[in-house]
Each structure stands twice: as C-alpha cells, then as structure tokens.
C-alpha cells in the first residue's frame, strides 16, 4: 500500500507502508507507520486519492521548557503525549513538545510552564501511532458492514445494470459456489440424472427380481408338495372311481385280471382305471402286489400308479393314461416279412429309430426295477402287452401283478408256481433244471420282446402259413443263422440306411438275453450299454439253441 504525504510536507515522495490487518466487519485497515519527528508530518497525510480516511482527532501542540509528566485521562485515550526525546526547534528555542488530545481538559494538565504552539484538527490518532506504530484507516465506501454482519457477500447495487459509474449503494447477496460453464453444468446434470436413473433401475430390478424369485420359490415349493403328494398313490372310494370313469363309459381293454376304463381325474390328468375281477382268486394277491410294488417306484419308463380303490369287494387300480396303448399294437408291423415270413400291414410301423428308443426305454425301466429301488423288483411278466406308450411313444413298463420284491443282493428266489406268459417265460421259471430264478429271468423275457420287435411277430408261434415250408421256422433261430452267416439282408422292412444296423443290434442283444442258462445272459445294465452303443461291433452270442438244435 502506498500513501502520500501532503503537499505541505517537505517530502513529496509516495511512502510505502505495511498493511498489518484488515477488518472487513468494522471496515478498518491497520498499517505500520513510524511517526516522524517533528510529529507534525503525519498531520499532513493526504488520503484524498484513496478511499481511506482516518478517525479524526483534535490535538494541541505545546512547547515546554522541560519534560512534562505523563498523565492518563482515565479514558481509553491518553490525554497527553510527550514528544520527548523528539526535540523541536520553535522560536529558536530548543524545546520539549507535548501534545494534548482535544478530548481532554487543559486545566487538568501540567502545562502551566508550556506555551501553546498549534491546534491540529482532524488528524489521526496520534496516541496509537506512538504506542504501536499503527495507523488506523477506515473506509466507508462500499459500505459492507451490514452484509458482513449477516454473513453475506457484498456488492454495489445493480452492479451489472447501473449506468452511473460512481454509484455507491451496496447490496448483500448469498455467495454461491464457483460458476461453471453451462455445458459442464448440463453434462453434470445429465450424469447426475443418469446415476439416479441407474440407481433407481437397479433398485427396481432388485426389488422385482427378489419378489419374482420369492414367487418362483413359492411356486416351486407348491409344485414340489403337489408332486410329493402325487408320488404316493391315493386311495379312492368306489364312488370316486365311478365319477372318474363317468360310470365306466369308455372301455380301453380287457385283460386276464380285469377290465380297463378310461377316466379323468382333472381337466389335465387322464387315467386308466383297471377294475380287478372278483372271479379270479388271484385278483386280491395281484392287487396287493401291484399297490405294494408300484407305490414305491417312480421312473420315466415305468407306468405311474396314481391310486387305488379297495371299497368292499371292489378293487381297482388307477394309472396314468397312456394314449398310444400297448407296444403290441406296433411291433407286428416292424418287419415286412421276407418271402418266408408272413407280410403284415406296416401302417403302424414306427420306424427303426423309434423302435430302438422304445427298446432302450424298456431296458432302462427294467434295469431300474432291478437295481434302482431299495428292493429288487422282478417283474416276471415282461411282454409287449405290458409295455404301454405315452403320447411321445415313451415306453412304460406296467402290470406288476406278478412282480416279486426281493433284496438286491439276493441272487436267486424260490418260486412255487411258474409266473408269466408262455413264450416269454425263462426256462428256469417253468423248470428248475436250468438254473435259479432271478433277475435274469426278466432279461430272458426282454430278449424275447426284442426279437419280437425285430421279427414283427410272436416268436413262440411258429408261423401258421403252411403255404411255405420256411414259415415253420422259429424266428429267433432263423435270425441267429442269418447273423452268424453275416448276411446283410435280414428280410426286414427298411426305410433308411441305418435300419439294418439297428435291427442287427436289437437282434444280437435279444439273442444274448435269451441264452438258455441265466448265467450266460447279461444283466439289464449291460443290456442298456449294448443298446446304447453306436457302432456295429457287438459280439455274436453263443447259439442259444445249441442244446435244442435239431
Ligand atoms: N394305463 C393305461 N393307459 C391306456 N391304456 C391302458 C392302460 N392300461 C391298460 N390299458 C389298455 O387296457 C388293455 C388291457 O390291459 P390289461 O393290463 O388289463 O391287460 P393286458 O396287459 O392286455 O393283459 P394281461 O391281463 O394279460 O396283462 C391294454 O391292452 C391297454 O390297451
């Protein structure tokens, strides 16, 4: 900061002073100022070109012959300041100077021997300068003290619009953060909005997905409970059975042990209801067998027992309805017989791929019965009649009236009477001479079924066509010879290149299964593996008819 001594002063140079303190609230600035000697110099400070003023005081300068004692006024200002040792030379006399503040009464000062030299009006606070070398300056324009008190910023009123250059009125305003360019602000706004949108989106997604997951898990539990309930066969009354079969309106078929009717459990669940005939003395036993066995098994290739009825003398079994009926309806057309076999209508022919799938499905179902349950279940009546097909032609093993439960490690079971259907029964089942009755007995029946699929006719029935001598040939024996001679033409109905390969495979597996001695037959597990093989490298089995060959 610079201040200029007055023109009356000898020194016209601008003087640099040090700003010690600025107080914006009181609008005071303190500068470091060394009082000169004689002190009058300060009284001629020219502040006209600056916005500052000093607080004006009035003083009277006295010249005294000797030093005067210092006397306090008792106020915040001192009354008398000695200017000793600043000696001045007035009227050719070397004198001490004393300065008397205008606010003090001269009568109380020890100035009797002194002579008044000069009155100074409107001069700075000499006492402060003298004590601390501080000169206090004030400014009044702009007047921001009110704004400072309010903690606000201050500016000239209508700073931007005023046409008057020297207007002095001020106004307070709230100081905002540093201004940012509009584009930056817009980008920041967009970013902020995006963040808010993303966060909101995440929150909505989270809430939505957690509600959805909750609903899904609830649904899953409901479904599980439904399924769990469905796993156990329900018990129905006769009235229920009548209601579900619409009073036995739609008959599906007649078996040895009863009549089967179509029924409806709900709009979605169709059922087949088998009413066991009372006339058959074995019906009660079959009933217990069937419910006891099927109540505990669940497999895609085993028909599901939905429920049963034991109401008075009425016994009924309720199964899932399988719209494509039994496999028997489809295998008699599988082979368009060669000249020595009777030619059947092949309108029901499913194709070799489908037949292979069906064979594999049945094998898996039987393997499950043998190995997949707590107890081994021997079905003892595997035949095409007892394989039902659903809407996708997935095979389901059914009819467990003859089934027997035994422990898994049991290698043989005792059997008092022969079980099963002639032509499918394993030799050991009807005669104890050929080995023990075991799971291998089901393997034999399955082998017969496989060969029926390939031959398209009942194996055990020698063809009744007497027009040709070859029609008397027993199909398994005949096909064994053909395969042994590695003949390509199996005299089957072929639609595709791979058909012969499939038929060969089914026939070879079938021949393995119908080995006379149970020990020579593969287990159902091996049968499944053989049927799943894609190559045509299956080893030919020994001749199953060696002991019976003529
Ligand atoms: N779950 C089912 N879904 C659809 N049809 C069925 C169902 N069960 C049986 N049938 C039909 O009812 C007919 C009679 O079946 P049933 O099991 O009583 O006798 P079978 O198997 O033909 O002979 P057997 O009494 O000697 O075993 C079958 O041929 C089949 O067409």
For residue range 103-145, list pLDDT tens digits in order: 777 777 778 888 888 787 777 777 777 777 788 888 888 888 8
Residue nearest (by alpha carbon) to ligand 1 atom 12: 253
Residue 198 has pLDDT above 60, yes or no: yes
Cα–Cα distance measured from residue 353 to residue 67, given in angstroms and rounded to the nearest whole number = 138
CA of 427 to the centre of ligand 1 (A): 26
Q: How confident is the model at residue 94 (pLDDT cuts 50, 70, 90)?
A: low
What's the pLDDT at 241? 95
- Using 50, 70 and 90 to split pLDDT, how confident is the model at 549? very low
Q: What is the pLDDT of residue 177?
A: 62
Mean pLDDT for 402-421 is 71
pLDDT in tens, 272-300: 999 988 765 566 777 887 788 787 788 99
DSSP-derived secondary structure for 105-146: -GGGSS-TT-EEEEEEEEE--HHHHHHHSEEEEEE-SS--HH
Question: By alpha-carbon position, which residue is closest to atom 16 of ligand 1?
Answer: 255
Query: What is the structure's pLDDT at 303?
Result: 93
Cα 325 to ligand 1 centroid, rounded to whole Å = 8
Measure 473 CA to ligand 1 centroid, in angstroms. 30
**What is the average pLDDT value for the chain, to the nearest integer?**
78
**Of 207-221, 329-343, 413-427, 500-514, where does mean pLDDT reach its minimum?**
329-343
Active site residues: 381
- Global confidence as pTM: 0.58
Q: Report pLDDT digits (tens) over 384-409.
A: 999 999 999 999 999 887 777 777 67
How many angstroms separate the CA atoms of 3 and 49, rounded? 9
Q: Binning pLDDT at 50, 70 and 90, where does residue 382 land? A: very high
Supply angle C-alpha 499, 501, 502, rounded to 5.
65
Give the pLDDT score at 249: 95
> Is 232 annotated for ligand binding?
no
Ligand 1 atom closest to Cα of 322?
Answer: 3
Q: Which residues line ligand 1 (CB under 6 A)?
A: 252-258, 260, 272, 274, 303, 319, 321-322, 325-326, 385-386, 388, 399
Q: Closest Cα to atom 27, ligand 1: which residue?
A: 255
What dotted CATH number matches 212-321? 3.30.200.20
Half-sphere CA count of 343, side-chain side, radius 13 A: 4
Contact at 8 Å (CB) between 171 and 155?
yes
Of the ranges 11-15, 25-29, 196-200, the best mean pLDDT one:
196-200
372: CB partners within 8 A, 6+ apart: 299
Quick one: CATH architecture of 324-548?
A: Orthogonal Bundle (1.10)
Tokens of 224: 């599980």
**Has residue 344 got a pLDDT over 60?**
no
Let me know the angle formed at the C-alpha of 403 by 252 and 543, rounded to the nearest 5 degrees.
Answer: 100
CA R_g for the chain:
61
Ligand 1 centre distance from Cα of residue 383 (Å): 12
- Predicted pLDDT at 9: 45
- For CATH 1.10.510.10, the residue range(s) in the chain are 324-548
Asked if residue 291 lies in contact with residue 236, where contact means CB atoms within 8 angstroms, the answer is no
Pocket perturbation via mutation, ligand 1, pick of 265, 272, 389, 402 by most ligand atoms within 8 A of CB: 272
Instruction: Look up residue 498 and give its two tokens.
Output: 């791979």
More confident residue, 162 or 317: 317
pLDDT exceeds cutoff 60 at 90: no
pLDDT tens by residue, 501-520:
999 999 999 999 999 999 99
**Burial annotation 297-323 (CB, 10 A radius, 16+ → b, else e):** bebebbbbbbbbbbeeeebbbbbbbbe
Q: Give whichever of 77-81, 95-99, 288-292 has the largest mean pLDDT.
A: 288-292
- Counting ligand 1 atoms within 8 A of each CB, the residue from 305, 388, 422 with the most, and so the one to mutate, is 388
The ranges of the chain annotated as CATH 3.30.200.20 are 212-321
């Amino acid at each position: 900061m610079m201040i200029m001594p007055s023109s009356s002063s000898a020194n016209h140079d601008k003087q640099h002073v040090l700003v010690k303190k600025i107080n914006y609230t009181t609008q005071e600035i303190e500068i470091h100022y060394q009082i000169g000697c004689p002190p009058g110099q300060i009284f001629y400070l020219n502040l006209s070109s600056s916005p500052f003023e000093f607080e004006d005081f009035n003083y009277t300068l006295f010249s005294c012959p000797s030093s005067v004692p210092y006397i306090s006024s008792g106020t915040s200002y001192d009354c008398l300041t000695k200017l000793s040792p600043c000696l001045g030379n007035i009227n050719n006399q070397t004198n001490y100077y004393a300065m008397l503040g205008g606010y003090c009464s001269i009568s109380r000062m020890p100035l009797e021997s002194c002579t008044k030299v000069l009155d100074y009006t409107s001069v700075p606070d000499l006492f402060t300068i003298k004590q601390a070398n501080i000169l206090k300056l004030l400014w009044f324009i702009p007047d921001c003290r009110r704004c400072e008190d309010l903690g606000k910023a201050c500016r000239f009123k209508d700073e931007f619009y005023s046409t008057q250059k020297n207007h002095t009125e001020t106004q307070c305003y709230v100081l905002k953060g540093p201004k940012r360019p509009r584009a930056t602000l817009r980008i920041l706004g967009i970013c902020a909005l995006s963040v808010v949108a993303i966060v909101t989106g995440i929150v909505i997604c989270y809430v939505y997905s957690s509600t959805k997951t909750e609903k899904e898990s609830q649904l899953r539990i409901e479904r599980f409970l439904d399924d769990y309930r469905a796993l156990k066969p329900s018990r129905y009354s006769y009235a229920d059975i009548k209601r579900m079969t619409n009073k036995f309106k739609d008959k599906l078929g007649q078996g040895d042990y009863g009549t089967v009717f179509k029924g409806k459990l709900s709009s979605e669940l169709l059922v087949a209801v088998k009413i066991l005939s009372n006339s058959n003395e074995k019906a009660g036993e079959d009933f217990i067998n069937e419910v006891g066995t099927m109540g505990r098994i669940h497999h895609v290739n085993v028909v599901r027992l939905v429920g049963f009825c034991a109401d008075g003398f009425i016994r009924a079994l309720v199964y899932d309805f399988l719209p494509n009926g039994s496999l028997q309806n489809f295998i008699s057309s599988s082979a368009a017989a060669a000249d020595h076999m009777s030619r059947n209508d092949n309108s029901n022919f499913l194709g070799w791929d489908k037949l292979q799938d069906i064979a594999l499905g049945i094998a898996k179902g039987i393997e499950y019965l043998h190995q997949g349950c707590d107890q081994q279940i021997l079905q003892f009546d595997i035949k095409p009649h007892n394989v039902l097909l659903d809407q996708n032609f997935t095979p389901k093993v059914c009819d467990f009236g003859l089934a027997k439960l035994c422990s898994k490690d049991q290698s043989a079971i005792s059997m008092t009477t022969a079980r099963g259907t002639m032509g499918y029964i394993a030799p050991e089942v009807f005669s104890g001479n050929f080995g023990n009755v075991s799971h291998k007995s089901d393997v034999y029946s399955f082998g017969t079924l496989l060969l029926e699929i390939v031959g398209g006719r009942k194996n055990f029935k020698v063809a009744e066509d007497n027009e040709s001598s070859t029609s008397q040939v027993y199909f398994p024996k005949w096909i064994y010879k053909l395969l042994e001679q590695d003949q390509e033409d199996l005299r089957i109905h072929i639609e595709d290149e791979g058909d012969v390969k499939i038929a060969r495979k089914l026939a070879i597996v079938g021949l393995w299964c119908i080995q006379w001695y149970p020990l020579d037959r593969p287990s159902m597990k091996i049968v499944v593996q053989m049927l799943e093989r894609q190559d045509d490298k299956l080893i030919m089995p020994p001749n199953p008819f060696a002991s019976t060959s003529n």
